[in-house]
Structure 1
Amino acid sequence: MEAAIADLIGDRTDLSALNMAGLTDWDICSRILEKCNLEPTAENIEQLEKLYIKHLPEMLLRCRGYVLAGVREILENLQQRTDVLSLVLTGNMEAGGRAKLAHYGLDSYFPLGAFSRRSRERVEIAQRAMILAEQQLGKLTPDRLYVIGDTPHDVRCGQAIGARAIAIASGHHRAEELRA
């Protein structure tokens, strides 16, 4: 994101103090613009998002991200089942979310997804995910819905649509934070 900001304002900005985990891209861009003393208008946010997408491939090559052990095997198993529909529910805008899934080789597991649009609210994304799932499977009851995530925001958005939340303490948040 630093490279996108540098393109936008002509200077590097230290974003290390911003906690972005679990936020929507719209919210992240708003906060970054405010930190840079720029108005978080829709136009400015969209401009920053475009610059972010431009720099995302090189950033993904430099970062040290990885797929947690066992995730591919679980996704492979779920993909073979006819009673399960896996879809991605993320605060990323669609172009960014799809690029990240492809970079880590997970895109084939998630042909459907609910992504961030012009919103700071993850609950709206969760509601869109529910609609997508019901279009594929028919009316769903809460006992058939699971949201898996690693931030308190993920847990809350799952709870907001009546889903069972499975929290993964992957290192960013302690188990106690995820239970709250």
Structure 2
Amino acid sequence: MVRLVLFDIDGTLIRTGGAGVKAFERTFATEFNLPGAVEGINFSGRTDPSIVREAFLRRGITPTEQHFQVFYDRYVFWLDELLHQLDGAPCPGVETFIDDLHHLPKPPVLGLLTGNIRLGAEIKLRHYNLWRHFHTGGFGDDHEDRNTLAAIAKKRGGELIGARLSDDEVLVIGDTARDIECGQAINARVLAVGTGLYSPDQLSVHKPTWAVADLCAISAAEVCR
């Protein structure tokens, strides 16, 4: 039985209308005079720090701790601004699926497993009234590597629950191959959803436990039993 459910954010819980990418672009342009800094960079399933690092290195800038801090301080400002300007919404089935998780006979703890820095995750999910559901997780500012983040999120979830979680007690939900990979790295069950850039057929190649079109297509009880 699943005791901890870890959700990815972008393309899994919400679609922001590109607010995150646009906030990256604005921050590089306004703070570092680097317009177009993220052109050609694949954001899918990656951590914010790894994207920032790649953008700096492409422009020949050594990514120091101070550079990261300046970037994040301005990024969260632009992110909040753009979320209010762009059309976005929770992905199909998300709110009902979360409600169903809360109403299981033994509700699991809900957490996040995301490449977003923690404050960025909070800003995004508060905007869509979803932050209140999540009580633990692993975030981009914990580590640049998604697989390491999965281990961090599992450990924190276990500490919150007060138990060392077995592999079968953890479910990871995501929309990219990297989400599947990081779930598999901790031997968790993995539910892949086709609400991001990839179809269920494309995601199935990476052998998740389930691959569905969206969270309307499968029940909370089925994946948590």
So what's the TM-score if we normalise by structure 1? 0.90
Residue 26 of structure 2 aligns to a residue whose secondary structure is: helix
Indicate the residue corresponding to 2:140 in structure 1.
116
98-107 or 42-51: which moved more?
42-51
Across the two proteins, how many residue pairs are aligned to each other? 180
SS in 2 for 1:87: strand
Give the match for residue 40 of structure 2.
17
What is the 5 A alignment of 1:75-114?
75-81=98-104, 82-114=106-138
* CA shift for structure 1 position 176: 4.0
1:49-60 aligned within 5 A: 49-60=72-83
Query: 1:29 is matched with which residue: 48, 52, 73?
Result: 52
1:50-92 deviation per Cα after TM superposition (whole angstroms, max 9, x unaligned): 2111211112123333211211011012123334111111111
Name 2:187's counterpart in structure 1.
162
* Structure with greater helix percent: 1
Amino acid at match of 1:99: I
- 1:125 alignment counterpart: 149
CA distance in 1, matches of 2:52, 2:34: 16
- Are the aligned partners of 2:142 and 2:149 in contact in 1 as well (CA < 8 Å)? no
Rate the CA distance shift 1:11–1:162 in 2: closer, same or farther, 3 A. closer
Give the secondary structure class of the aligned counterpart of 1:148.
strand
Question: Larger relative CO (CA 8 A, sep 6+): 1 or 2?
Answer: 2
Does the 8 A contact of 2:31 with 2:71 survive in 1?
A: yes
Q: CA RMSD in A?
A: 1.8
Aligned to 2:221: none
Q: Which moved more, 1:30-39 or 1:157-166?
A: 30-39
Amino acid at match of 2:61: L
1:140 is matched with 165
Aligned position for 2:86: 63
**What letter is aligned with 2:184?**
Q
What is the deviation of 1:152? Answer: 0.8
Q: Which amino acid aligns with 1:142?
A: D
Structure 2-normalised TM-score?
A: 0.74
Between 1:170-179 and 1:95-104, the stretch displaced more is 170-179
Distance 1:118 1:36, change over 3 A: farther
- What secondary structure does 2:115 align onto? strand
Contact 2:168–2:189 (CA<8 Å) still a contact in 1?
Answer: yes
Contact 1:2/1:13, CA 8 A, preserved across alignment: yes
Check whether the contact 2:137–2:157 (CA below 8 A) recurs between aligned residues. no
- Distance in 1, Cα, partners of 2:39 & 2:201: 24
State whether residues 23 and 91 of structure 1, in contact with CA within 8 Å, keep that contact through their aligned partners in structure 2. yes
SS of the residue 1:140 aligns to: coil
CA distance in 2, matches of 1:154, 1:19: 14
